Amino acid sequence: MRKLLLRTALSAVVLHAGAPLAAGQAVAPVPEPTQSPQTAPAPVPLAPSTPAPQASVMAPLPPIPTPAPVGQSVTFDEAIRIALERHPDAARAAQAILRAEALLQGARSVFLPQVNGTVTTTILNEARGFEGQITQPQTQSSFGAQGVFPVLAASRWAQAAQARDQVGIARIGAEETRRQIALAVSQAYLAVFAQRRQVAVNTRALENGRAHLSYASARLQAGAGSRLNELRAAQESSTDEVLLEASLLALRRTQEALGVLLVANEPVDAAAEPVFELPGELPSTWLSGRVDVRLSDANLSAAERVRRDSWKDWVPNGTASFQPQYVTPAGLFQPANTWAAVVQFAVPIFDGGQRRSLARQRDVNVELARIDRADLERTIRSEERISRDAVQSTARALDSARRAAAQADEVVRITDIAFRAGATTNLEVIDAQRRARDAETAAAVAEDRSRQARLDLLVALGRFPR
């Protein structure tokens, strides 16, 4: 019973220390104990008392940090356009097209004749001859030419057609490279926008935390609060500062990443939220419109052409050449003007199985291309189904997250009013602020996921980039 009374009295003192002083309330005097060597001091009755005002020991708070200034800010469409114009991968893809065209030009040389000229000067130690006749002068020059034309070169003719396929593949590959660049830029742009939203959430949480800390310090200085309440508020405010600094650094990283993709020598900021309009009903042939599908089809078609041309390796090669020659001075047995025409056919008889090996390799390449094409189509259709479900799911989640954030803000407001009226402690206020910050963070994440889902659906349908 004695322990129960003591606990009740201590609870009354603690609660009174954190409660405001009512208007007109009198402070009960505390009697001075009389000290005597014979008797112990009389116990002090636990009467309600008003604590003396205390000075806050909190250090002056630094200003709330803000995002570092950024010299360049672009919209979503501008970021895509600038990246496609400046990114090194786009330039590399253009050079790949030029390389393929150069290889095609070299392969087409088989349809044109080759002409070579020669000039030869022979100097002997002395002229050659017999019986006073000069058969070969000491110094003799010859001028010759050779024209060669392949009259039969089936395998080389096939290489020209195959090189033409590679030019088409290089051009489609350049489109695929541009698509990949656009996807990378869009991801970086959305990351910047999402981090800016997170910075705003953490900034608001820090503002609320500092407002609560200022109120707790004012109560402590007025003698109506407690040091414990102030420390709790200060701890929450410091935690909000840490989260804000982390989000500011993450924002700077995403801005730098966007600047690198745009080939800028500075960080680049996102100017506005992108809007992704979803298409309506699509034709049944929408899959063939994707760049990566067209690239896969082109690779498969090229591999099949190479395999079909394998029989041409067994066809003989025929060349026709014409070689005129002029010699000065002419010798006894060497006329000044000569020419020769040659027609030659070469038939490969035995090559150790090299042509059969090449034919088998071409069969394997065709099968691999078919496997890749089927796997790509299966993956794309799966992405399309998932993206459609993700658009609907993230939209519902975003609505719920926004409602939760609004409800958490209302809880903070009601809890703060109750705390100022003395109906609750600051533990409830701090908990409400944390939950509000978490709810707003969840809403920011839900917004980013919703934007990402809409972009993924456009990519799956081949509608991005335009």
CA Rg value for the chain = 44
Report the alpha-carbon distance of residue 314 to residue 324 in Å, rounded. Answer: 32
The pLDDT assigned to 442 comes to 96
Nearest to 74 by CA among 268, 276, 273, 257: 268
Report the alpha-carbon distance of residue 255 to residue 245 in Å, rounded. Answer: 15
Segment (H or E) for 133: strand 133-136
The pLDDT assigned to 39 comes to 39
* Token digits of residue 15: 């609660």
Report the alpha-carbon distance of residue 32 to residue 109 in Å, rounded. Answer: 118
pTM here is 0.78
User: Do 124 and 96 meet the contact criterion of CB atoms below 8 Å apart?
Assistant: no
Report the alpha-carbon distance of residue 464 to residue 466 in Å, rounded. Answer: 5
The pLDDT assigned to 208 comes to 93
Rounded to 10 deg, the angle between the 88-108 and 76-86 helix axes is 40
Q: Where are the beta strands (DSSP E) in 224-316?
A: 268-270
Nearest to 52 by CA among 227, 234, 232: 227
List, for the chain, all residue ranges whose pLDDT scores fall below the cut of 50: 1-50
User: Do 182 and 80 meet the contact criterion of CB atoms below 8 Å apart?
Assistant: yes
Report the alpha-carbon distance of residue 76 to residue 258 in Å, rounded. Answer: 11
* Model pLDDT for residues 68-127, shown as the tens digit of each residue: 999 899 999 999 999 999 999 999 999 999 999 999 999 988 888 999 999 999 898 888
* Model pLDDT for residues 149-174, shown as the tens digit of each residue: 999 999 989 999 999 999 999 999 99
Report the alpha-carbon distance of residue 454 to residue 340 in Å, rounded. Answer: 74
Report the alpha-carbon distance of residue 211 to residue 217 in Å, rounded. Answer: 10
Domains by residue range for the chain, with CATH: 72-121+141-347+356-460 (1.20.1600.10)
